[in-house]
Amino acid sequence: MKWVYIEDIAQYDGQDVEIRGWVYNKRSSGKVRFLLVRDGTGLVQATAFSAEKDSPLFQKFDRLTQESSLVVRGRVREDKRAPGGYEMTIADLDIVQVAADYPITLKEHSTPFLMEHRHLWLRSSKQHAVLCVRAEVVKAIRDFFDGRGFRLMDTPILTPSACEGTTTLFETAYFDQKAYLSQSGQLYNEATAMAFGKVYCFGPTFRAEKSKTRRHLIEFWMVEPEVAFATLADIIELGEDLVLFIMERVLTKRKHDLEILERDTRPLEAVKKPFPRLTYDQAVPLLREKGSTIEWGNDFGSPEETLISEVYNSPVCVTHFPTAIKAFYMQPAPENPDVVLGVDFLASEGYGEVIGGGQRIHDLALLERRIEEHKLPREAYEWYLDLRKYGSVPHSGFGMGVERMVSWLCGIKHIRETIPFPRLLYRIYP
RNA sequence: UCCCCGGUAGCUCAAUUGGCAGAGCGGUUGGCUGUUAACCAAUAGGUUGCAGGUUCGAGUCCUGCCCGGGGAGCCA
């Protein structure tokens, strides 16, 4: 008998097939038995009928517990009463293993309990849906950049020095030296961009920040494109196109998962190019008008991001932040060196910053001065300064946080559910 | 690091002013020919996070600690 996956079951209407999976739930009603089977691709109801209640099939059925593994064989038929619209009439079943008391029931559980059982929680339908969306987002990101002639240039995870500060780095032994886990591939991206023109890196990044909010992970995935000769305006457009590309892909290919998540997709469908642009100078009075106490020169906090996303029914691009609060490599605006050519993309519906980036300093003398002002060890940046000695050009790039994007698309409030095994401030298990 | 909240059965939660520690789910047993987190009946299940204190009496009040959740700062 043919082994098929549940996601393909509609193609086998009227045929005998075999499904290999796990018990999601079961119900019995005298001489009828209902089994909800999942196989990783979907859920299907399998039904067993028998005139005698002690039939061998029923005896096997009654031994099954939640999450027991099994092989069921039977005929597929359309049935409106079944969840999913198709049902299998069980001819025979083999038990692979009878599961011990499964801790996660179909009833409510607290977050600490579910996080403790994350390795099992992944089997639940909503977690399954979120992670399918994540996989689709990752695929969309790669398709987007590969389709536009970007070269994937992976940057190292073990690095000899900080990209920005030094307080948020994980330190590790590197034989007789110290190494740090990467918190951004950007500096290396600038080198590969000068070699390949358009590049991106995509991988995990690590920040030892004692952040304990629904928007932060200690280990998260970031995609970072870098484009030689691109200006701030070019990179903003690239970011818009990327966001729209991912959104369209997920809305078409993961529609079913968004339904499972009960995501109202109308706000996502309404997102259009161009996103509203707002300079920092314009944002500050707007925020104060809405009740924020922000002063010119302060960075946005999460309340400020939420306020802005409430004003616009769209993602918003905020640009030209004060030089003092941004990274050392940010290019000052030509008309006003107190602000930089940087951009933050704030997602709609209060999902916060999903993209941050901008134009990098390409002038050697200015970059040297900034490294000094930020009290960074010059010797660690010699290679980086070389990029400004040998054919320096204006260039720009950004970083997009995968988990924040997934959380926005899925309408999931907490970022920890958007990665299979989240690393959090007080949780590294499982 | 700081602020707020919580910890009672396997799970989710109750417990009046400090006065017999309970319910639903899950488990087990039985019943039911179309269930949708099925339903009905019965049943087992407790070091109330840990240590100390107040009291005739503490799940409840006090002190310290541990663990977790939400937020700030910082950021994607």
ipTM for the whole complex:
0.84
Q: Amino acid identity of A426?
A: Y
Q: In the predicted model, is pLDDT for residue A187 greater than 90?
A: yes
E strands present in A209-368 = 219-228, 277-279, 316-319, 332-333, 336-340, 342-346, 353-360
Q: Which of residues 110-169 of A touch strand B (CB under 7 A)?
A: 110-113, 115, 168
CA A258 to C1' B31, in angstroms, rounded, equals 40
Local confidence band at A338 (pLDDT 50, 70, 90 cut-offs): very high
Give the pLDDT mean for A379-384. 90
* A338 beta carbon to strand B: under 7 Å: no
Rounded CA gap, A388 and A303, in Å?
38
CA A107 to C1' B25, in angstroms, rounded, equals 7
CA A28 to C1' B39, in angstroms, rounded, equals 10
Local confidence band at A319 (pLDDT 50, 70, 90 cut-offs): very high
Domains parsed from chain A with CATH numbers: 2-97 (2.40.50.140), 118-418 (3.30.930.10)
Q: In the predicted model, is pLDDT for residue A326 greater than 80?
A: yes
Strand B: positions under 7 A of a protein C-beta atom: 1-2, 10-13, 24-28, 31-39, 67-76
CA A111 to C1' B44, in angstroms, rounded, equals 28
CA A102 to C1' B43, in angstroms, rounded, equals 21
Q: Is A77 exposed, middle or buried (0-12, 13-18, 19+ CB in 10 A)?
A: middle
* A81 beta carbon to strand B: under 7 Å: yes
CA A113 to C1' B61, in angstroms, rounded, equals 30
* A51 beta carbon to strand B: under 7 Å: yes
Tell me which residue has tokens 């992970």.
Answer: A217
CA A362 to C1' B56, in angstroms, rounded, equals 82
Give the pLDDT mean for A196-225. 91
Closest nucleotide (C1' vs CA) to A63 is B28
Q: In the predicted model, is pLDDT for residue A245 greater than 80?
A: yes
Closest nucleotide (C1' vs CA) to A399 is B76
Q: In the predicted model, is pLDDT for residue A406 greater than 70?
A: yes
CA A355 to C1' B41, in angstroms, rounded, equals 59
pLDDT one-digit tens code per residue, A276-304: 999 999 999 988 888 888 888 888 888 88
Q: In the predicted model, is pLDDT for residue A323 greater than 70?
A: yes
CA A62 to C1' B29, in angstroms, rounded, equals 13
Q: Which of A190-204, A209-223, A269-283 has the lowest mean pLDDT?
A: A209-223
Q: Check residue A313 and give its pLDDT.
A: 82
Q: Which of residues 231-290 of A touch strand B (CB under 7 A)?
A: none
* A404 beta carbon to strand B: under 7 Å: yes
Closest nucleotide (C1' vs CA) to A303 is B72
Give the pLDDT mean for A331-353. 92
Q: Check residue A162 and give its pLDDT.
A: 59
pLDDT one-digit tens code per residue, A51-79: 777 788 888 888 888 899 999 999 999 98
Q: Check residue A164 and give its pLDDT.
A: 54
* A105 beta carbon to strand B: under 7 Å: yes
The candidate with the shortest Cα–Cα distance to A346, out of A310, A309, A313, A292, is A309
Closest nucleotide (C1' vs CA) to A168 is B74
CA A64 to C1' B22, in angstroms, rounded, equals 31
Kindly provide the b/e burial profile for residues A235-261, where b requires at least 16 CB atoms within 10 angstroms of the residue's own CB.
Answer: bbbbbbebbbbbbebbbeebeebbebb
Residue A43 · residue A83 · CB < 8 Å:
yes
* A98 beta carbon to strand B: under 7 Å: no
Q: Check residue A167 and give its pLDDT.
A: 58
Question: DSSP alpha helices (H): ranges in A98-222?
Answer: 111-116, 118-121, 125-147, 186-196
Give the pLDDT mean for A106-120. 87
